[in-house]
Amino acid sequence: MENKKYYITTPIYYPSGNWHVGHTYTTVICDAFARYHKMLGEDVFFLTGTDEHGQKVEYKAKDAGVMPKQFVDPLVDGLKEIWRLLDVKYDRFIRTTDDDHVKGVQKIFRTLYEKGKIYKSTYEGWYCTPCEAFWTKTQLKDGKCPDCGREVKLETEESYFFRLSEYADRILKLYEDNPEFLQPKSRMNEMVNNFLKPGLQDLCVSRTSVKWGVPVDFDSGHTVYVWIDALSNYITALGYGSGNDGLFKKYWPADLHLTGKEIIRFHAVIWPAILMALDLPLPKQVYGHGWLLIGGDKLSKSKTDKVSTELTDPKELVERYGSDCVRYFLLREIPFGSDGVYTNESLLTRINSDLANDLGNLVSRTTAMINQYFGGILPARGAEEGPDADLVSVACGVYGKVGKAMAALDAPLALEEIFRLIDRANKYIDETAPWLIAKDESKKGRLGTVLYNLAECIRISAVMLKPYLTVCPDKILGFFGINGETVTGFDTVKTFGYFSGGEKIEKASPLFPRIDVKKEIAEIEKLALSRRAAEKEQKPCESHKNNEVKPEITIDDFAKIQLKTGIVLAAEKVENSDKLLKMSVRVGAETRTIVSGIAKYYSPEEMVGKTVVVVANLKPAKLRGIVSEGMILCGEAADGKLTLITTVSEISDGATVR
């Protein structure tokens, strides 16, 4: 009989280079699912990769003075290294710059065009460069990108459009007929109410102003707009559109697209519509998970670097605590589907309580007692008594319970079920008190049974843990004389009584050393602060750039900067920051929120009523969660001290400064 197939995908990652632990969330979860399904005996294909095209990369490469491909190559390598460290075992790492992907996307685009699903027109829309997304006026939030809150620009150009508007009813019907298609439920409501019911608009799918992307092969000058390029990876990775589509025939449709919630619209609305237009089967399920939050915000490297001393670099985390600890935290801590707060303290507490205490102690106590009382030879199992029946029933139930949790895509619950057995076994030690039984030689048989039962519970737990943790389960099995690598399925966990007795049991070395949380956090903080100080020294730009001679610019270059006078109407300190002031600044007809790093030099009271010079066309940026709409000019002395630039005589706010 042919094996059941299981095709699971992560989104393909933007090659940002600033990878943080939040980025690893989707992929570690997918890896656990892939491993779990492999152990069920299924024929698994696990896809991940990178999403390398688009204006943002084009600009960054230009800034760096290299070609876009050259720019992304090392970033992609960096991401692969993170997956290696975290023991993520994918079957393909697709890059949107791969030849077969490019050809596949061209074929998809052409097919859609030939089927009349794509047409040429003119696009006018509000484009957010960082998000690579076009928005309609009504979708904008206070005139800014509804996703990131940044400035958008009105762009008009000749573009191809995908007839997305024709698919709203079909997608609503898809949801109705397949309530499991989009999970969790809340995401489906969001899609229905925010996008499908109001009606879909046709989607711009090519750009002429962007060069870094897949060229439309029948209309030179047009580049496939990123989302068709990116989403198609799920089928081009299997050879769709190439001469060699054996994998596509075997694995498509995907069983699960796992993505973060912010890109659900693309996966649960646009992607199904594209597939419908191509007459291809739809993925069976799309799941939009929540975010790892830091300080109430989506974890992002730039933020953590500035405002927090949390350690978030996945490489460093693996170096300090090992891949199993990081994987365990990601898979266990956050109720699946919801957001969860990331702190080093929560990570360390998880490691200590679950891994070092519950699991580590169970293994070390059991193997120590088998060595102490039976010379390291596992005794045989005798008659059942006392709490044995309950222990055995918990152990035998784990496989089914984990199966249920995994079918509901609930990895945290699956781990909870395994740890329920570990907890039960620890409680069993307390209930049976083997050290007391050991005092009575006539009870040697009972002592043997207790230790045998514990060994079985540990064996079952270790096998069940294999999809989630990749180092310690095999290590544990090794203490019990089992080569973990040979355990490729769950066959041995469905019944209690695998050991025959007589097996050589090794005294376990510590699996997870207990971490002194306070000390460790103090060390991490020190590390973060000293790093920040070193960075400042390395980048004397803030204060010592005074001496730097910048290249000459033309009057046209200067004219790009719009300087205006403003009057500070209100000012307050930004919470938990000794540097930042948040101000309301009237600039002619509008009042802006501006966050400025002048709190050390000016009190809020001093600022109110001051006339300031505002860089009025600066791209808004979020500082401590506040969107700052411009910058206030200051003079900076060699020692870094700031002095406000103001006017010598009165001038109305909103006046041009030149």
Residues that bind ligand MSP (CB under 6 A): 11-14, 22-23, 25-26, 51, 230-231, 259-260, 262-263, 291-292, 298-299
Q: Which of 381, 367, 327, 370 is nearest to 350 (CA)?
A: 327
**Rounded least distance, CB 57 to ligand MSP, Å:** 11
Cα Rg of the chain (Å, integer): 30
**Rounded least distance, CB 345 to ligand MSP, Å:** 18
Q: Contact 592/567 with Cβ under 8 angstroms? A: no
Q: How far apart are CA 427 and CA 413, in angstroms?
A: 20
Closest CB to ligand MSP: residue number: 260
**Rounded least distance, CB 290 to ligand MSP, Å:** 7
Q: Contact 350/332 with Cβ under 8 angstroms? A: yes
- Residue 70 or 338: the one with the smaller Cβ distance to ligand MSP is 338
**Rounded least distance, CB 15 to ligand MSP, Å:** 8
- Residue 13 or 328: the one with the smaller Cβ distance to ligand MSP is 13
**Rounded least distance, CB 494 to ligand MSP, Å:** 34
Q: How far apart are CA 329 and CA 346, in angstroms?
A: 8
**Rounded least distance, CB 270 to ligand MSP, Å:** 10
Residue 535 contacts by C-beta under 8 Å, 6 or more apart in sequence? Answer: none
- Residue 26 or 183: the one with the smaller Cβ distance to ligand MSP is 26
- Residue 54 or 125: the one with the smaller Cβ distance to ligand MSP is 54
- Residue 79 or 583: the one with the smaller Cβ distance to ligand MSP is 79
> What is the per-residue DSSP string for 541-564?
HHHHGGG--PPP--HHHHHTS-EE
Q: How far apart are CA 207 and CA 224, in angstroms?
A: 7
What are residue 581's phi and psi, to 5 degrees?
-115, 140
- Residue 11 or 566: the one with the smaller Cβ distance to ligand MSP is 11
**Rounded least distance, CB 94 to ligand MSP, Å:** 10
Q: Environment class of residue 392 by beta-carbon count within 10 Å: exposed (0-12), middle (13-18) or buried (19+)?
A: middle
**Rounded least distance, CB 139 to ligand MSP, Å:** 18
Q: How far apart are CA 220 and CA 566, in angstroms?
A: 47
3-class DSSP state for residue 287? strand
Name the packing angle between helices 388-407 and 444-465 (round to 10°): 0
CA-based max dimension of the chain: 102
- Residue 267 or 564: the one with the smaller Cβ distance to ligand MSP is 267
- Residue 26 or 352: the one with the smaller Cβ distance to ligand MSP is 26
Q: Give me 484's structure tokens.
A: 């973990």
